[in-house]
Structure 1
Amino acid sequence: MLRSFRLLASALMLTALPASIALSQGGKVSAPAPSAAIQAALADPARADQAADDARRQAAAVIAFAGVKPGDSVIDFLPGAGYWTRIFSPLVGPGGHVDALWPSIAAKYAEKQLPALQARGLTNVTAEVQSSPFPTVAKPVDLFWTVQNYHDIPAAGIAQFNAAVLKALKPGGIYLIVDHADARGALPSAAGNKHRIDPAVVRSQVQAAGFRFVGQSSVLANPADDHSKPVFDPAVRGHTDQFVFKFRKP
């Protein structure tokens, strides 16, 4: 997934459990407990093969923070093997829908992942490679979700990307970003080497696109990670310091 988004980055350049939430005012409140619907989706026997990864990913807490509920429409952008898509499908239920989207430039990396996801027969999921490097949908959705991908978008394309996300969301829709944190003040150009990004840069870029910052969950934070190593370094792989940002379309 990371490699595919690095290719997307080049294309964009050519086109020119309960956790603490830090609110924009600096205060903190408790995240909502995972709903019964979230717990049922995670317990779905159809995803037993991936359930062992739920604790490491803090799936229940992150989804509760996002506020996903039955009936929602969700974009899972660059879904990889479909870990999150397979949770969203039973969670949003027959009244909701999930778009698992790969951008056009990532078609090569969807060759195995896309057929495997389609073969699961999830009737409320549309999994496809799009014809554009930017996310597009026929109807605006409730949630745009992307995990460990944002850091690969270059500054030259980020405004266009975030504008496309804004357009894809309903008024009041949520933009949820999870990514590996870099040191404060680190330049975005260094992200390609470490697959990290300064959270402050992300917040600034997304707010510049017109989004309102809702809050930040610390459920994936790891103070022991000093941000100096690439995320694939054995010393930190699988337990990097990650931020979870929630934005809302006005």
Structure 2
Amino acid sequence: MRQTLSVLAVLTTAAAVASVATGAPRTQRSAIAEAVSSPSRTPANVARDQYRHPVDTLTFFGVKPGNTVVEIWPGGGWYTEILAPLTRAKGNYYAAVGPDFPNGGKAVEAFKAKDPALYGHAKLVAFPAEAGQPRVPDGTADVVLTFRNVHNWRMGYKRNDQDYSPEAFKQMFAMLKKGGTLGIEDHRLPESASAEREKSSGYIKVSTVRRLAEQAGFVFAGASEVNANPRDTADWPDGVWTLPPSYRLKDVDRAKYAAIGESDRMTLKFRKP
């Protein structure tokens, strides 16, 4: 019996190797891992993988190479370096930049100019889009992703300190297909903390994000602890920006904050029914 099992194990392994050698279809996770390991990524961005866990995060959100993916506020392009190459052959990638549109898309435009083969298909749109601005067409996105931005909308960033998170969720809901996914990662404020801290600390409660999403029509589809950091107590002198990579206090207790690492983050998935 043992000999039979050993032979079966050898044959199974040989078949798996042969499958890879003949170019078997990539799995969702292997396609993401390939994009994450690409030499085209900036070394400084790669160094943050230990905190941002891009393979696990995008796998949890269900991102596939053939998807139409919208990234809300790509900023300097940390995830652009992964999502644009991932979708270049079969999918679509929208970089939805903020109220400073189109200036907020300079990083994405720089990527496109540097390497059109990887980034040329990226489309630049506004978010939240105003009348007359280019936007993601309603009902076209498979996945909408936003990383560490809901707290900005809640704080009224670039909108005269007025909370515009309900409008942001409304527009994300509109751009998704039925059954599409909204993936959110953000700095997590403990549920026991005062809600007032959401207005200044850069942290936000899971319950607040869920309320905003569900009021817009989304259905909660799950949570992952892949980006959790139990060392982060979320009560720092200069809010979340005390921690790396911002180090807003500069050299004050820098070693202490470096040892804590980047913030404790929620990773939530919602579905458009």
Q: Deviation per CA, 1:125-150, whole angstroms, max 9, x where unpaired? A: 11345682599312520111111110
Pair 1:188–1:127, CA change in 2 (3 A): farther
The structure with the greater share of residues assigned to strand is 1
Instruction: Classify the secondary structure of the residue corresponding to 1:35.
Output: helix
By how many angstroms is 1:48 displaced? 5.0
Partners of 2:125 and 2:136 within 8 A in 1: no
Structure 1 residues 219-234: aligned runs within 5 Å: 219-229=226-236, 230-234=239-243
**C-alpha deviation, 1:52, in angstroms:** 2.5
Q: Cα offset for 1:117?
A: 2.7
Report the secondary structure of 2:242's partner residue: coil
Cα distance in 1, alignment partners of residues 28 and 267 from structure 2: 16
Given the superposition, is the C-alpha separation of residues 86 and 227 from structure 1 closer, same or farther in structure 2, using an over 3 Å criterion? same
Provide the rounded CA distance (Å) in 2 between the counterparts of 1:87 and 1:167.
25
Choose the corresponding residue for 1:115, options 109, 113, 117.
Answer: 109
For residue 234 of structure 2, give the secondary structure of its aligned residue in structure 1.
coil
- The AA in structure 2 aligned to 1:241 is D
Distance 1:97 1:86 in 2: 14
Offset, 1:159:
2.1
Q: Once structures 1 and 2 are overlaid, which stretch shifts more, 216-225 or 226-235?
A: 226-235
Q: Does 1:215 align with 2:222?
A: yes
Question: Higher mean Cα deviation, 220-229 or 115-124?
Answer: 115-124
Q: Percent identity over the alignment?
A: 29
CA distance in structure 2 between the aligned counterparts of 1:130 and 1:214, rounded to whole angstroms: 24
Offset, 1:89: 1.8
Counterpart of 1:196 (choices 196, 200, 203) is 203
Counterpart of 1:232 in 2: which secondary structure?
helix
Q: How many residues in Structure 1 have an aligned counterpart in Structure 2?
A: 217
Q: 1:142 and 1:188 mapped to 2: Cα distance?
A: 32
Give the corresponding residue for 1:146: 146
Higher deviation after alignment, 133-142 or 157-166: 133-142
Residue 64 of structure 2 corresponds to residue 69 of structure 1: yes
Match of 1:164 in 2: 171
Q: Does 1:44 align with 2:44?
A: no
Structure 1 residue identity aligned to 2:209: V
Deviation at 1:84, TM superposition (A): 0.8
**TM-score (normalised: structure 2):** 0.71
SS of the aligned residue for 2:164 comes to: helix
> Cα distance 1:205–1:187, how it changes in 2: closer, same or farther (>3 A)?
farther
Q: Does the CA-based 8 Å contact 2:80-2:108 persist in structure 1? A: no
Q: Deviations 1:5-64 (Å, cap 9, x if unpaired)?
A: xxxxxxxxxxxxxxxxxxxxxxxxxxxx97111111112222253323222211111011
RMSD in angstroms over aligned alpha carbons? 2.5
Going from structure 1 to structure 2, the CA distance change for 1:77 and 1:225 (only over 3 Å counts) comes to: same
Task: Give the match for residue 79 of structure 2.
Answer: 84
Residue matched to 2:135: 136
- Structure 1 portions without partners, runs of 5+: 1-32
Pair 1:245-2:240 in alignment: no
Instruction: Deviation per CA, 1:69-119: give whole Å up to 9, x if none.
Output: 12101111100111112211222232101001113x223862642432332
Code of the residue aligned with 1:57 in structure 2: it is R
Secondary structure at the residue paired with 2:233? Answer: coil
Task: Return the TM-score normalized by structure 1.
Answer: 0.77
- Rg comparison, structure with higher value: 2
Residue 130 and residue 178 in structure 1: after superposition, are their counterparts in 2 closer, same or farther (change >3 A)? closer
